[in-house]
Amino acid sequence: MVRLDGTAADEARLAAADDIAELFQSRIIALFLNVLPLLAPEAEDGIGALRVVNLVQLARDAGDKVEIKLTQRLACLQKPVELRRFDGFLDTIADIAAREARTADTFVTLRPNGAAQEPEHLVERVLFGSGRHLILLPHRKAAKVAFDRILLAWNGSRESARAMAEAMPYLRNAQTVTVVVVDDEPPVERNAVEGLSAVDHLKQHDVNAVLDHARARKGDIGATLMTEAKQRKANLIVMGGYGHSRLREWLLGGTTYELLRGAQVPLLVAH
């Protein structure tokens, strides 16, 4: 499943989705979330209410034009495709995206950063509410999404285990897989063996993985992982998505927040 909105950013999203579909011989589900204006009537005589109705209709009409454009673009792909359109107010589209993603293998969209701003609450809602992994892309169109050199961030947590399980199809197809454990404190006995069981698990699934420990640079785990990925020329970082809930809303944890905004390679994130 790939989120499309009719803007130029669709090309980066769709190119990656096309490459992933090619890799796994799968179909593409395009999700178009047409945002309707959420306005309160300004007058009690009906004029304000009529204005709101007109604005909503204008948004639906604009959505019709985008839908035609997306249908034409998807027809150019040499793969099975499906377009799903949902019209909703801004406070509902993230829940719609999370609901639809539950019956997809992956959810492809851009990182919530840059000129083509991806709604942060949408990314968070899908991450924490769909039960599926996300492929988050930089805001540039890559020549080809290969995913043949993968860095798996491992810290022994439930989230990293979840990410490893969700990433298994990609890991099996990769040429090299490096399990990276970032030590953010002075080495102790537990740190030395952290990651060995993950590597053993991957080898049981025919993934030729190797283990590497990296010392956190100035205590910054996110920056350390990005540096490790650059040194290994990794084209995919697999990581657990961390966060905490406040008043029924999810807030991203520090390392997750940093990587979502700073990574220059695609991320596979799962919670």
Q: What is the mean pLDDT of residues 200-227?
A: 90
> Would you state the structure tokens that stand for residue 240, as one six-digit string?
């657990």
Query: Who's near 69: CB < 8 A, 6+ residues apart?
Result: 6
Evaluate if residue 247 carries a pLDDT over 60: no
CATH fold of 149-270 reads Rossmann fold (3.40.50)
Instruction: Please report which confidence band the pLDDT of residue 162 belongs to, taking 50, 70 and 90 as the band edges.
Output: very high
Say which CATH class 2-137 falls into: alpha beta
pTM, rounded to two decimals: 0.89
Per-residue CA distances from 213 to 5, 66, 87, 194 (Å): 41, 48, 47, 9
pLDDT, residue 57, reads: 93
What's the DSSP call for residue 183? E
How buried is residue 147: exposed, middle or buried, by Cβ count under 10 Å (0-12/13-18/19+)?
buried
Instruction: Please report which confidence band the pLDDT of residue 43 belongs to, taking 50, 70 and 90 as the band edges.
Output: low
| Strand (E) or helix (H) holding 191 | helix 189-193
- Range(s) for CATH 3.40.50.620 in the chain? 2-137, 149-270
pLDDT in tens, 55-96: 999 999 999 999 999 999 999 998 999 999 999 998 899 999
Neighbouring C-beta atoms of residue 144, cutoff 10 Å: 10
pLDDT, residue 111, reads: 87
Q: What is the mean pLDDT of residues 117-141?
A: 86
Q: What is the mean pLDDT of residues 27-50?
A: 80
DSSP class per residue in 118-129? PPHHHHHHHHHH
> Would you state the structure tokens that stand for residue 70, as one six-digit string?
């997306």
Query: Mean pLDDT of all residues in the chain?
Result: 88
| Strand (E) or helix (H) holding 4 | strand 2-4
- Least confident segment among 16-20, 50-54, 224-228: 50-54
Q: What percent of the chain has pLDDT above 90?
A: 64
To the nearest 10 degrees (0 to 180), the angle between helices 90-101 and 120-129 is 40
Instruction: Please report which confidence band the pLDDT of residue 263 belongs to, taking 50, 70 and 90 as the band edges.
Output: confident
Better-predicted residue by pLDDT, 117 or 200: 200
Q: CA-to-CA distance for 11 and 140, rounded, in angstroms?
A: 9
3-state secondary structure (DSSP) of residue 105: coil
pLDDT, residue 256, reads: 77
What's the DSSP call for residue 88? E
pLDDT, residue 262, reads: 77
Q: What is the mean pLDDT of residues 121-137?
A: 93
pLDDT in tens, 173-212: 999 999 999 987 665 555 667 899 999 999 999 999 999 9
